[in-house]
Structure 1
Amino acid sequence: MIGYIFQRILASIPVMGFVALFVFLLLRLTPGDPAAIIAGDTATPEQLEAIRDSLGLNDPMLVQFFDWIIRLLQGDFGTSIQSREPVLKLIADRMEPTISLALTTIVLSVVIAVPLGVIAAWKHGTLIDRFVMLLSVLGFSIPVFVIGYLMISLFSMQLGWFPVQGFRPIGNGAGDFFHRIALPTLTLTLLYIALIARITRTSMLEILGEDYIRTARAKGLPEVRVLMRHALRNCSVPIITVIGIGFALIISGVVVTESVFNLPGLGRLTVDAVLARDYPVIQAVILLASLIYVIVNLLIDISYVLLDPRIRYS
């Protein structure tokens, strides 16, 4: 197992290198001039040239790339072009809202979606099964921003139960934290409930037709034990895979939700950086998202051994 983990870590190095090269070239080859954004519309050509020189944008592209890689290896992600603050500090300041939203969403989604998927498979073809499938279709079909605005209209503007926007750290009080994170969490949860419940239902349907399930029922075991211990445990690998990938997707893809609810997380930071052509911030955020994917996939592979004793890594 240790050798396998070490091999996966080594294999992730060229992946991260390719991502770094792709992001660097993509940002440099797309239209737009950071110097013009910084200087404003009234800047003279001499002022623009001076800003480009100070930012190193006039250096050859190959020189810019290797300078950036060397700084990365030294733990220096650069300085924001827009705010002139260290990029790592900007990311650290924005991590809490994004991680909080990701954790509350994935926990609530798993708690609701897995039992729904199990019940839908158990009651295959009934109204309960059709309701779960309808919920899955709606969750996939309705855009996240539409769900967000519907949530705001109903629970904030009409009922007045939750604030429209904003974030409070959990250190300032758990009550205020959950009060403000509730609507964004519910908005994303509807999407991930649809995904996880559908995968759970499909996996359970395949397992419930196996001979050992019929044997367990023939032995007189309670139906709950058959479903949870024999069926769900043996179909947990694809479910865990979807949950892990979903967690990585939430962290790296909450741009729309954070914009709708005005959460000061990584999504808002990414939007602001893209609009300002802030190269260092965009590069760091994309690299961070790629690193999260690599780590989550490694943890998913390790969990397979714990869930299925037949799986061995050498």
Structure 2
Amino acid sequence: MLGYIVQRILAAIPVMGFVALFVFLLLRLTPGDPAAIIAGDTATPAQLAAIRERLGLTDPIHIQFFNWISDLLRGDFGVSIISGQPVITMIAGRLEPTISLALTTITLSIIIAVPLGVIAAWKQGTIIDRLVMAISVVGFSVPIFVIGYVMIQIFSMQLGWLPVQGFRSITEGVGPFAQRILLPTLSLTLLYIALIARITRTSMLEILNEDYVRTAHAKGLTETRVLMRHALRNCAVPIVTVIGIGFALIISGVVVTESVFNLPGVGRLTVDAVLARDYPVIQAVILLASLVYVVVNLLIDIAYVFLDPRIRYQ
């Protein structure tokens, strides 16, 4: 197992290198000039040239890339072009809202989606099954920002139950934290409920047709025990896979959700950085998001060993 983990970590190095190169070239080759944003509309060509020189944007692209990679290897993510603050400090200050939203979303999604998928498979072809599949279709079809604005209109504007926007740390109290995080969580959760419930239903349908499930029924075991111990337990691998992928995808989903609900998280920081052409911030955020994908995939593979004893890594 240890050798496999080391191999996966080593294999992730060229992947992260390719991501770094792609992001760097994409930002440099697309239209937009950070110097023009910093200097304003009334800046003279001489002022723009001076700003580009100060930011190092006049160096050849390969020199800029080499300098950036050298700083990364020393743990230096650079300094924001716009604010002048260290990028790692800016990201660290925005992590709590993003992590809170991601954890509450994936937790609520699992609690709701897995039982829904199990029930839909158990009641295949009934009105319950069709209802669960209808919810899944809605979750996949409706954009997150539309769901967010609808919830704001209903629960904030009309009913007045929850605040429209903002974030409160859990250190300020569970109540204020829950009030601020509930609407963003519900908006983002619908998509992942649809994803996890469909995979759970499909996996359960395959397992329910196996001989050992029929044998369990023939022994007189209760329906609940058959579903939970014999069926759900044996389709845990694809369910855990999609949960892990869903958790990684949440990192991209929070960009829209945090913008809708004005949460001061990494997603909102990314939007602001893109609009301002703040190269160091954008590069650091994308690299960290890619690292999350790599780590989550590694954890999923390790979890397979504990979920299915037949799986062994040499």
TM over 0.5: yes
Q: Secondary structure at the match of 1:85?
A: coil
AA at the equivalent of 1:271: V
The 2-side partners of 1:231 and 1:210 are apart by 9
Structure 1 vs Structure 2: percent identity of aligned residues? 81
The answer on whether the counterparts of 2:192 and 2:246 sit within 8 Å (CA) in structure 1 is yes
Cα displacement string for residues 209-255 of structure 1 (whole angstroms, at most 9, x for unaligned residues): 00000001111111111100110011011110110111111123311
Residue 144 of structure 1: how far off its partner (Å): 0.7
The 2-side partners of 1:248 and 1:191 are apart by 13
The 1-side partners of 2:143 and 2:57 are apart by 38
Q: Over aligned residue pairs, what C-alpha RMSD do you find?
A: 0.6
Give 1:229's aligned residue: 229
Give 2:245's aligned residue: 245
Give 1:137's aligned residue: 137
Residue 201 of structure 1: how far off its partner (Å): 0.3
5+ long unaligned stretches in structure 1: none
Cα displacement string for residues 139-162 of structure 1 (whole angstroms, at most 9, x for unaligned residues): 111111111011000000111100
AA at the equivalent of 2:42: T
Correspondence 1:101-120 to 2 at 5 A: 101-120=101-120
The answer on whether the counterparts of 2:166 and 2:261 sit within 8 Å (CA) in structure 1 is yes
Give 1:44's aligned residue: 44
Cα displacement string for residues 165-192 of structure 1 (whole angstroms, at most 9, x for unaligned residues): 0000111111100111000000011111
The 1-side partners of 2:168 and 2:16 are apart by 33
Number of aligned positions between the proteins: 314
AA at the equivalent of 2:133: M
Structure 1 residue runs of 4 or more that deviate by more than 2 Å after TM superposition: none
Give 1:146's aligned residue: 146
TM-score (norm 2): 0.99
The 2-side partners of 1:124 and 1:31 are apart by 52
Cα displacement string for residues 69-100 of structure 1 (whole angstroms, at most 9, x for unaligned residues): 00000000000001110000010011110110
5+ long unaligned stretches in structure 2: none
Give 1:164's aligned residue: 164
Q: Secondary structure at the match of 2:116?
A: helix
AA at the equivalent of 2:312: R
The 1-side partners of 2:196 and 2:278 are apart by 36
Give 1:125's aligned residue: 125
Give 1:212's aligned residue: 212
Give 2:277's aligned residue: 277
Give 1:93's aligned residue: 93
The 1-side partners of 2:164 and 2:210 are apart by 49
Give 1:265's aligned residue: 265
The 1-side partners of 2:107 and 2:21 are apart by 35
AA at the equivalent of 1:105: T
The answer on whether the counterparts of 2:4 and 2:313 sit within 8 Å (CA) in structure 1 is yes
Q: Secondary structure at the match of 2:162?
A: coil
Matched, 1:155 2:166: no
The answer on whether the counterparts of 2:164 and 2:261 sit within 8 Å (CA) in structure 1 is yes
AA at the equivalent of 1:19: V
AA at the equivalent of 2:5: I
The answer on whether the counterparts of 2:188 and 2:253 sit within 8 Å (CA) in structure 1 is no
The 1-side partners of 2:189 and 2:142 are apart by 13
The 1-side partners of 2:71 and 2:253 are apart by 26
